[in-house]
A and B are shown apart, each in its own frame.
Chain A
């Protein structure tokens, strides 16, 4: 696979995980540039279609980061995200996509170091897995 740069899309919730990433920035903590953040109002807003679309458009890994269970700004959005995500992960294995390419985790607004750790670990995991290269139905559209 060589030294390719994995593309990892991270959907981060506005109230906790994005704030955590922001704090990592303020503290000047380095994290992998392979991780691209997309700010959502809530992890519960992450439609499974977004995850599949990210893979279709060439992502090698996708993360959903939300508030810790019990801390959701909208009470239970993160739990809904977790239920969707577990079902989606089970289904993606039928599509031949390694379960390690998708990850859900919880990061609080103050957990800058934790954000750094989760982002770097995911980048390393996906780098080791290699490029996803969706061959099959969409091969003509995706490289």
Chain B
């Protein structure tokens, strides 16, 4: 029997998710022995036209990482959807928008202004900007569209499963691949990581006092961080209460607070709002002025609470002043 075909693709991402596949280390040999990789742009040479020539549904599973920012990414995502039995959103960016989706707090116009005009290192006297179509010496050149917003994968195509994490851990990847190969899959739409908050498995949970209170927000550079004590009890914003478990606490074990890359649990629609709910219960201050003084310590609430989940949030991004911004 022919080996099942697998595609790995990257959209708006940093390459860390592909690195995570390589981090399977020698286990990747078992994967390669079991499947046939037919597309993996970061690691191997394939042609899109070969994918286009394949029969619809002939790829067993496509792992797509990265958010959707350009027309090309949307095009390939749609192509892989057509050709694949299963599509797995791989990593925070394709599941939730990830770091690239923080750009939803600004606009395409402002991004172009900065990148092509105002940045101190840019010299652009002719005010040239990328266009979707340009003619040079009779030749027509085309570029993919740069969308107004950053989308998560399931905004553009139907997604079967989600592997959260920035990047997903080798354990979660191995579990997912095994489940697919053995046909032991959860219901469609499942997020392939435990549905509970990080705090439930955090070793520091034991040190959490009955009533955590924060009178002053601190950053990890402000204090010597106690390697045993709950971060919130030390006044450091830790996204653990609003974040899904399954990462193996790699940041916590490195004495750094959770930044929320696994996104919210199934019972929560909006990770940032949930974190605000949590902090509201533990911040100190019984009048507005006292509370505002504590809140001053949270310099960038949107960037802190939606660091990975902007596209999956209720508002999705900043309100645009004009239609085509």
Q: Which residues of A contact B (CB under 8 A)?
A: 47-49, 51-53, 55-56, 69, 79-88, 90-91, 94-97, 132-139
Is B25 an interface residue, CB under 8 A from the partner?
Answer: no
Could you give 24 example pairs across A and B, Cβ below 8 Å?
A: A47-B274, A47-B277, A49-B273, A49-B277, A52-B270, A56-B314, A69-B287, A83-B291, A84-B276, A84-B279, A87-B298, A88-B273, A88-B276, A90-B295, A91-B272, A94-B301, A94-B303, A135-B320, A135-B321, A135-B322, A136-B104, A136-B317, A136-B320, A138-B316
Which of B273, B286, B295 makes the CB contact (< 8 A) with A69?
B286
* In contact, B269 and A83 (Cβ under 8 angstroms): no
Residues of B within 8 A of A53 (CB): 269-270, 314
Residues of A within 8 A of B171 (CB): none
Within 8 A of A (CB), among B291-325: 291-292, 295, 298, 300-303, 305, 311, 313-323, 325
Q: A90-B298, A136-B319, A138-B316 are in contact. Are A95 and B270 (CB under 8 A)?
A: no
Residues of B within 8 A of A86 (CB): 288, 291-292, 295
A72 to chain B, nearest CB (A): 11
Is B251 an interface residue, CB under 8 A from the partner?
Answer: no
* In contact, B318 and A94 (Cβ under 8 angstroms): yes
User: Cα distance A2–B243 when bound, in Å?
Assistant: 44
Q: Name the CB-closest residue of B to A98.
A: B319
* In contact, A87 and B319 (Cβ under 8 angstroms): no
Residues of B within 8 A of A80 (CB): 280-281
Is B144 an interface residue, CB under 8 A from the partner?
Answer: no
Q: Which 8 A-B pairs have the closest CB atoms?
A: A137-B316, A84-B280, A96-B319, A91-B301, A48-B273, A94-B302, A52-B314, A135-B320
B67 to chain A, nearest CB (A): 12
Residues of A within 8 A of B280 (CB): 48, 80-81, 83-85, 87
Question: How many chain-B residues does the 8 Å CB contact rule pick out?
Answer: 42
B232 to chain A, nearest CB (A): 14
* In contact, B315 and A87 (Cβ under 8 angstroms): no
* In contact, B104 and A87 (Cβ under 8 angstroms): no
Residues of A within 8 A of B311 (CB): 137
B70 to chain A, nearest CB (A): 16
Is B285 an interface residue, CB under 8 A from the partner?
Answer: yes
Is B105 an interface residue, CB under 8 A from the partner?
Answer: yes
Residues of A within 8 A of B269 (CB): 49, 53
Residues of A within 8 A of B322 (CB): 135
* In contact, B323 and A135 (Cβ under 8 angstroms): yes
Which of B104, B277, B320 makes the CB contact (< 8 A) with A84?
B277
User: Cα distance A113–B321 when bound, in Å?
Assistant: 37
Residues of B within 8 A of A69 (CB): 286-287
Residues of A within 8 A of B279 (CB): 83-84, 87
* In contact, B286 and A79 (Cβ under 8 angstroms): yes
B75 to chain A, nearest CB (A): 20
Residues of B within 8 A of A139 (CB): 320
Q: Name the CB-closest residue of A to B295.
A: A87
* In contact, B319 and A135 (Cβ under 8 angstroms): yes
User: Cα distance A51–B303 when bound, in Å?
Assistant: 19
* In contact, A49 and B283 (Cβ under 8 angstroms): no
User: Cα distance A138–B269 when bound, in Å?
Assistant: 15
Residues of A within 8 A of B277 (CB): 47-49, 84
Which of A82, A97, A138 makes the CB contact (< 8 A) with B291?
A82
* In contact, A87 and B288 (Cβ under 8 angstroms): no
Q: Name the CB-closest residue of B to A55.
A: B315
Residues of B within 8 A of A137 (CB): 104, 149, 311, 315-317
Which of A49, A85, A91 makes the CB contact (< 8 A) with B274?
A49
B211 to chain A, nearest CB (A): 11
Q: Name the CB-closest residue of A to B150.
A: A137
Residues of B within 8 A of A95 (CB): 105, 302, 315, 317-319
